[in-house]
Structure 1
Amino acid sequence: MRVVHVVTLVSDNGAYGGPTSVATGQLEECAARGHEVALVSLWQGRSRAPAHIGSVPLRTRPAWAMLPGRFTGVIHPLLVKDMWHSMGRADVVHIHAGRDLVSLTALVVAVLRRKTFFTQTHGMVEPRRRAVVKLFDRLYVPLLRRARGCLVLTERERQAVAEVIGPDGPPLLTLPNGVRSAYAGAAQHPRSAREVLFLGRLHPRKRPEAFVEMAALVHRRLPDTRFTLHGADEGSLPSVLRLIASRGLEEVVGYAGALGHTEAVRAQARAAVYVLPSISESFSMTAIQALSVGTPVVCTDGCAIAGELARRGAAVVTDGSPRAMADAVCELLTDEEKRSAMVKAGHQAVEEAFSIQAVTDRLEEIYRDI
């Protein structure tokens, strides 16, 4: 089977986050099963775009900002040519579709090419009342309705997408995100006994300031603990740095910039605890990736998979307050029995529910049901 995926942006610092890692993970597993695969995307980075991501051929053009917005307005005119050529040979097209120009263009090309296509919205398509979004949706939503199916992560996303596309939309098919377990290999990376990690965009929704407040509380109880934030700045970095300075934590909490996917996984494998303070997460690939490398996770009840992780004993779920997160981190750093049990449960959760192998089994079923 010839499978083509389209995602808005691939970058050297993982700026587009989950959708890109999901697309490449799905395609790598499809390639391992003998399918012919390709990824079409824009590229943003300090160097030239790679020809492949792992085993996945990459067709890409430099990202040009044509309209306001970090991702919504980027495009390159020649990307249309790449889409047209790649989709023409495809048996199935899979568009990781947000409300942006690349997704809109991919939908148009797929319809004009009369291709069977699926969309996957990654929590990016929710009801919005802004006039500019309503105007965009007049073009975008009718194209979404032409999909063979729309892949959603959770029941929460199913309800949001259903409200946007209405009763005339395609079937909404549940497909979780998946990762390749790296638990066995994680032991090869020296793990810090006292490093707590934040990994995500520095954006108000991710609440990096809450991470710093949590760090201040943990530091009072466990002074040898260190805290690192990684991620592209999307507006919160100045306030994070001011907060670090005002709390006198310059020697304790550090911002170390954004990381590409491989470096991000290594950072998680080295950390003692991964903290996800976000108040609203449609899934959280970073949490699943942390579990896959044997790093305990502290998250909030705003994460859509928090209930599943809590039920399995695979993460500590908190109300998101700095004190609750600090209590959870301190317990994991000092209670080796609890930590070991959670690591084991996290590995089991990945194997049973969130493995890329299980996800691709389901994806192949969806592709073949055309």
Structure 2
Amino acid sequence: MRVVHVVTLVSDDGAYGGPTSVAAGQLRECAARGHDVTLVSLWRGRGPAPARLGPVPLRTRPARSLLPGRFTGLMHPLLVRDLWRSLGGADVVHVHAGRDLVSLTALAVAVLRRKRFVVQTHGMVQPRRAAAVRLFDRLYVPLLRRARGCLVLTGRERRDVAAVVGAGGPPLLTVPNGVRPGSGAAADPVRRGSEVLFLARLHPRKRPEAFVAMAALVHRRVPGARFTLYGADEGALPGVLRLIAAHGLEGVVSYGGALAHPEAVRAYARAAVYVLPSVDEPFGMTLIEALAAGTPVVCTDTCGIAEELAGRGAAVVTDGSPRELADAVCGLLADEGRRAALAAAGRRAVAEAFSVHAVTDRLEEIYGRLCRVP
């Protein structure tokens, strides 16, 4: 099959997060199975865009901000031509669709080209009351309704998308995100030292300030622990730096900037514990990337996969308060056996529930059904 995916942004700092890594991972696995794949996207980086992401051909244009918003208004006029040409030759079109100009354009081109397409919303399509969103949705929602299927991650996302799309929408198909089992050159978790890692966008929902507050509590009990934050700044960095200074944590807590994916994999592999303090996280792609690297993880009970991970003994789930996060981290740093057990359970969870192999099996079934529909 000729499969074309569209995602809003590829960048050298991973700013768009989960949707980009999910799209690239799905296409890599599709390519390994012999499908003809292409990823169409905007590009933002220090240099020119790469021609490929591993085995995946990349068609891209430099990102330009045409409307306000970090991602909503990104576009390039020539991307319309790229979409028209790429989608025209596709058997199946898969749009990783947020409320933004790239997604809107891709959906419109797919409809005009009379292509069978699916959408995957990644928790980005939720009910909103703002006037600008309601105006955007007058164009966007009718296009979403033309999809042959909408891939959702959790029951909560299913309810959110149903509320936005309303009656007459596409079938809502539950498909989790996945990673390649054993990816990440995992190190022995018992011998990783005492680095505690935050790796996510520095956005208020990700709560990097809570990570710093947690670090201050842990440092009192485990003075040798060190804490590193990585991720593109989306407005929270000044507050993070002020909090580090207020707690006197210079030299204990550091910010390392944004990481490209290979660097992120190495960061997971060398950390003793990965902490994601975000609230209402639709899925938590970084959690399963850390698990694939053999790193014990701590998350909050509002993460979309927290219950699944807790049931498998693959994560320490907290209420998200700095105190509970600190208790969880201190417990893991003091107990090598528990860290090893969590790491082993995490690898099993990836292999059994969050494997890109199983996800691609499901995608091939969906794509094949689309190709058979007259």
TM-score by length of structure 2 reads: 0.97
Q: Distance in 2 between matches of 1:21 and 1:203?
A: 18
In structure 2, relative to structure 1, the CA distance for the partners of 1:112 and 1:183 (3 Å cut) is closer
Q: Distance in 1 between matches of 2:44 and 2:286?
A: 21
**AA aligned opposite 1:289:** E
Pair 1:86 & 2:92 matched: no
How far has the Cα of 1:192 moved from its partner? 3.4
Q: 1:106 — aligned with what?
A: 106
In structure 2, relative to structure 1, the CA distance for the partners of 1:106 and 1:191 (3 Å cut) is farther
Q: 1:152 — aligned with what?
A: 152
CA contact (8 A) 1:183 1:347 kept: no
Give the secondary-structure state (helix, strand or coil) at the position aligned to 2:325. helix
CA contact (8 A) 1:75 1:102 kept: yes
Pair 1:178 & 2:178 matched: yes
Q: 1:161 — aligned with what?
A: 161
Q: 1:7 — aligned with what?
A: 7
Pair 1:207 & 2:207 matched: yes
CA contact (8 A) 1:190 1:270 kept: no
Q: Distance in 2 between matches of 1:109 and 1:368?
A: 21
CA contact (8 A) 2:189 2:272 kept: no
Q: 1:227 — aligned with what?
A: 227
Pair 1:299 & 2:325 matched: no
Give the secondary-structure state (helix, strand or coil) at the position aligned to 2:138. helix
Count of residue pairs the alignment pairs up: 370
Q: Distance in 2 between matches of 1:266 and 1:287?
A: 14
Q: 2:44 — aligned with what?
A: 44
**AA aligned opposite 2:303:** C
Q: Distance in 1 between matches of 2:243 and 2:361?
A: 46
**AA aligned opposite 2:13:** N
Q: Distance in 2 between matches of 1:343 and 1:243?
A: 31
In structure 2, relative to structure 1, the CA distance for the partners of 1:313 and 1:188 (3 Å cut) is closer
Q: For residues 142-188 of structure 1, give each alpha carbon's deviation from its aligned partner in whole angstroms, at most 9, with x where no partner exists.
A: 00000000000000000000000001100000000000123683139
Q: 1:136 — aligned with what?
A: 136
How far has the Cα of 1:302 moved from its partner? 1.2
CA contact (8 A) 1:189 1:266 kept: no
Q: Which aligned segments of 4 or more residues in structure 1 are displaced greater than 4 angstroms? A: 188-191
Quote the RMSD (CA, aligned, Å): 1.2
**AA aligned opposite 1:297:** V
Q: For residues 63-119 of structure 1, give each alpha carbon's deviation from its aligned partner in whole angstroms, at most 9, with x where no partner exists.
A: 000000000000000001110111111000000000000000000000000000000
Q: 1:270 — aligned with what?
A: 270
Give the secondary-structure state (helix, strand or coil) at the position aligned to 2:185. helix
CA contact (8 A) 1:186 1:269 kept: yes
CA contact (8 A) 2:51 2:59 kept: yes
**AA aligned opposite 1:149:** G
Q: Distance in 1 between matches of 2:185 and 2:12?
A: 24
In structure 2, relative to structure 1, the CA distance for the partners of 1:148 and 1:82 (3 Å cut) is same
How far has the Cα of 1:290 moved from its partner? 0.2
Aligned residue runs from structure 1 range 67-78, under 5 A: 67-78=67-78
Q: Distance in 2 between matches of 1:37 and 1:185?
A: 26
Q: Distance in 2 between matches of 1:107 and 1:59?
A: 17
Q: 1:96 — aligned with what?
A: 96
**AA aligned opposite 1:196:** V
Q: For residues 186-239 of structure 1, give each alpha carbon's deviation from its aligned partner in whole angstroms, at most 9, with x where no partner exists.
A: 139996311000011111100000000000010000000000000111111001
Q: 1:329 — aligned with what?
A: 329
In structure 2, relative to structure 1, the CA distance for the partners of 1:190 and 1:35 (3 Å cut) is farther
Q: For residues 280-328 of structure 1, give each alpha carbon's deviation from its aligned partner in whole angstroms, at most 9, with x where no partner exists.
A: 1100110000000100000001101000000000000000000100010
Give the secondary-structure state (helix, strand or coil) at the position aligned to 1:369. helix
Larger mean CA deviation between 6-15 and 186-195 belongs to 186-195
CA contact (8 A) 1:65 1:74 kept: yes
CA contact (8 A) 2:184 2:266 kept: no
Pair 1:366 & 2:356 matched: no
Q: 2:350 — aligned with what?
A: 350
**AA aligned opposite 2:234:** E
Give the secondary-structure state (helix, strand or coil) at the position aligned to 1:186. coil
Q: Distance in 2 between matches of 1:104 and 1:168?
A: 19
CA contact (8 A) 2:227 2:252 kept: yes
CA contact (8 A) 1:96 1:119 kept: yes
Q: For residues 312-349 of structure 1, give each alpha carbon's deviation from its aligned partner in whole angstroms, at most 9, with x where no partner exists.
A: 00000000000100010011111111111111100000
Give the secondary-structure state (helix, strand or coil) at the position aligned to 1:299. strand
How far has the Cα of 1:265 moved from its partner? 1.1
Q: Which runs of 5+ in 1 are unaligned?
A: none
